[in-house]
Structure 1
């Protein structure tokens, strides 16, 4: 029996057996059957450990004609990656190769702070500029940050793969195409979308644009997502536990309602698992909806719903919902600190997982079989043994289990992607986030793009029911 089959069987045991009766070998795969960490097979780009204190290479370097012609060939075929060849000024590069300086754009000598010093400074300027723009779009994505609505992921790739260093490597090895191709996202979905683009006729313009937009979304993420991570595609309403880009387990989700409670896109780190969490009720409910006075004035009702209230001398009322099956966070939440106050958690409202459209929450992500997920995370992160996780989860007491090995979690937004069954599928654009991305592809390429968004952060207060 393969590891993946065994994990499915173990998940079924977790769901069907009493928690106290689950053996550790039933929850986790036997030692040695977890897929080993992925090795980096790409010979051009390697992850950079630590911080590189070497000064960056200049962004204008000396180009010979052979390398410049290889760059032109790459530009002419860049539509296979969902990008527009004209964005990288192939005509100017072709003219520079032909020695037709009069036809070269007049802004080539003002785009960079560095001066070309080679035998053909005009060619150096034009080729370096086109290469730089290709790197920026292949590594970071073509879509400007203003068009990535509620996208708060900070992509570390520019720090790991500086443009000048890539250019120096391409010219030293005379492998321009290889260096540029090595920037493509490594997640299997990118290759699937690329093949779909190749198979879609030019006449199907709307479909091709949607494919291109979702290819670009993969570039917005770090190129290396890690060997073990959680990833959820909000419009699909699914969460995946992933090892080496292979799905180990999936969980249905309930995500934020459209509007101010729409779930933002984040890349965070799960630092711990909270079993039997408490919920501090926000003042928008305590004061705004009168819950504070209701809890104080009706102790019997408050006790039945797990609420405890304290009132300060200044009249401030604080309400905390105690652990229990009726707690709004259920019996588990993943501790992933972030300024949006977004996290993955359980819910007592299990019936919502049976709906097809599940954009129903106040922003946080409710997860089915959350206790199974939390116990698995605690064990994989070596925060607890299986027996300890069972004891903690069934104690009914608030307990936070820190993870010795943290795990990334990616909250993404793809409207065309491989679904949990391995089939390329489209998903409803529940937050209307496709429009700006699609429109950006109809505009000229934007230069000097920001790396981070200046959109408002809307902290989520109320997990809702």
Structure 2
């Protein structure tokens, strides 16, 4: 394919992303280029509903959250409950199965007994505690952190939608159902799973349980994902470029091999695109696999492979693979700093995208048509023209194009979800992450759950070609 044809395709891709925004007359400032001299515009917001809970900035940054143990300690909030509100709470509990939760977790019989005795402090305490449990499970997910394997996402919803505020709103308005609706996942894929659960017979217990587990995975994420973002579902081997929850572009992916190099679940921010990246080879390869000695001992081979080596006075050898067609990162990588060293990038081994099972990398996510994705984002987020983007690739030099505003990227793990064709599908549990989630649904509800994982962070050192 010539670069002139590629420019046309990239321009079409950029328009495809922008089109849904124009249709809604709400072009978010962080996706469309801005005048370099004009101040960045704020994203337009829909008017808040009269009973909406105020959305505040998270009390802690993600880095702060993961630097310490954070336990979601359900506060001892006791507010006065009328018999009408308490009966409405029982009705909610009786129907909570529609959301994939088990009403037995919320002691409906005990609550009914308290209601039968009339308004009392006992009713206030019991109803307040039960409401708090419902909020926690619907807002944050029922699955405790120790059952979320390699889950490193900090969910800000507990700070954005505090229990005390929600309870006050519910009791003052009498609309408990409407209040709780504000904290449930708003993504249409959650609604699809909910509809599947509703039509699945009780006799199909295994299928229902799988639906419930994947509904809960949506609650692990922030309710509001943003107006535009990248999302990859690891077991599906697909990446989506999404605007207003609509898929505008999809790309096949190659993800981490099972085991130590399995791709973790993350929510990070893309800060820019790097064209023609370099690759600093980790010491596990430089020293452990003898690459450093080979590069120093065979300069002609090293030159063909694009490697340069530096040996310090202390004997320490560092090896960098320069930009070029053989570079292990291909022609682009997304700049998304994170503690795991996980990012999305190109690959010279493009034939691997034809494989059905693409769990083949060392953890990072190799992306099909990566240059198209890179230039599309550079056009929309960095203000480049298609010609400038293609020129940077053809130039062959390391170039970083920063974004005018960061873009969220979600690395998720759904084994039942809507596929890129819009159909509800199941995907192989390539990392065996379903079992602990499913087991937690059978176990008693766990109170005072941690908000962050205690699991080890495995830094992905390399992403060599397979």
State whether TM-score is above 0.5.
Answer: yes
| Cα offset, 1:79, TM superposition | 0.4
Distance (whole Å) between structure 1 residues aligned to residue 247 and residue 52 of structure 2: 25
Structure 2 residue matching 1:241: 3-state secondary structure? strand
Match of 2:194 in 1: 194
Does the aligned pair in 1 maintain the 2:11–2:376 contact within 8 Å?
no
TM-superposition CA deviations, 1:68-122 (whole Å, max 9, x none) = 100010001100100000101111111110118xxxxxxxxxxxxxxxxxx6211
| Cα offset, 1:208, TM superposition | 0.4
Q: 2:110 aligns with which of 70, 86, 92?
A: 92
Match of 1:109 in 2: none
| Cα offset, 1:464, TM superposition | 1.4
Distance (whole Å) between structure 2 residues aligned to residue 214 and residue 40 of structure 1: 31
- 1:48 equivalent to 2:68? Answer no
- Of the structure 1 ranges 30-39 and 150-159, higher mean CA displacement relative to structure 2 is found in 30-39
Match of 1:459 in 2: 459
Q: Which of the pair has the greater relative contact order for Cα pairs under 8 Å at 6+ separation?
A: 2
Structure 2 residue matching 1:347: 3-state secondary structure? coil
Match of 1:64 in 2: 82
Does the aligned pair in 2 maintain the 1:19–1:390 contact within 8 Å?
no
1:209–1:376 Cα change, 3 Å: same
| Cα offset, 1:389, TM superposition | 1.7
For structure 1, the residue ranges without an aligned partner over 5 or more in a row are 1-14, 101-118
TM-superposition CA deviations, 1:112-164 (whole Å, max 9, x none) = xxxxxxx6211110000000000000000000000000000100100100010
Structure 1 residue matching 2:296: 3-state secondary structure? helix
Match of 2:287 in 1: 287
Distance (whole Å) between structure 2 residues aligned to residue 39 and residue 430 of structure 1: 40
Distance (whole Å) between structure 1 residues aligned to residue 145 and residue 14 of structure 2: 41
Match of 2:36 in 1: none
Match of 2:19 in 1: 33
| Cα offset, 1:41, TM superposition | 7.5
Match of 2:437 in 1: 437
Distance (whole Å) between structure 2 residues aligned to residue 345 and residue 21 of structure 1: 20
Structure 2 residue matching 1:327: 3-state secondary structure? coil
Distance (whole Å) between structure 2 residues aligned to residue 253 and residue 43 of structure 1: 43
Does the aligned pair in 2 maintain the 1:383–1:402 contact within 8 Å?
no
Match of 1:156 in 2: 156
TM-score, normalised relative to structure 2: 0.89
Match of 2:297 in 1: 297
| Cα offset, 1:177, TM superposition | 1.2
Distance (whole Å) between structure 1 residues aligned to residue 96 and residue 322 of structure 2: 57
TM-superposition CA deviations, 1:310-339 (whole Å, max 9, x none) = 000000000000000110000000000000
- 1:224 equivalent to 2:224? Answer yes
Structure 2 residue matching 1:314: 3-state secondary structure? coil
Does the aligned pair in 2 maintain the 1:24–1:387 contact within 8 Å?
no
TM-score, normalised relative to structure 1: 0.89
Distance (whole Å) between structure 1 residues aligned to residue 197 and residue 9 of structure 2: 47
Distance (whole Å) between structure 1 residues aligned to residue 124 and residue 337 of structure 2: 46
Structure 2 residue matching 1:394: 3-state secondary structure? helix
Does the aligned pair in 1 maintain the 2:382–2:401 contact within 8 Å?
no
TM-superposition CA deviations, 1:214-264 (whole Å, max 9, x none) = 000000000000000000000000000000000000000000000000000
| Cα offset, 1:181, TM superposition | 2.2
Q: 1:121-132 counterparts in 2 under 5 A? A: 121-132=121-132
1:23–1:356 Cα change, 3 Å: closer
How many residues align? The count is 431
Structure 2 residue matching 1:353: 3-state secondary structure? helix
- Structural RMSD (CA): 2.1
1:422–1:288 Cα change, 3 Å: same
Structure 1 residue matching 2:285: 3-state secondary structure? helix
- 1:424 equivalent to 2:431? Answer no
Distance (whole Å) between structure 2 residues aligned to residue 350 and residue 84 of structure 1: 46
TM-superposition CA deviations, 1:2-51 (whole Å, max 9, x none) = xxxxxxxxxxxxx7754675387544228973424484776644562547
For structure 2, the residue ranges without an aligned partner over 5 or more in a row are 27-44, 61-73
Does the aligned pair in 2 maintain the 1:253–1:367 contact within 8 Å?
yes
Does the aligned pair in 2 maintain the 1:282–1:461 contact within 8 Å?
yes
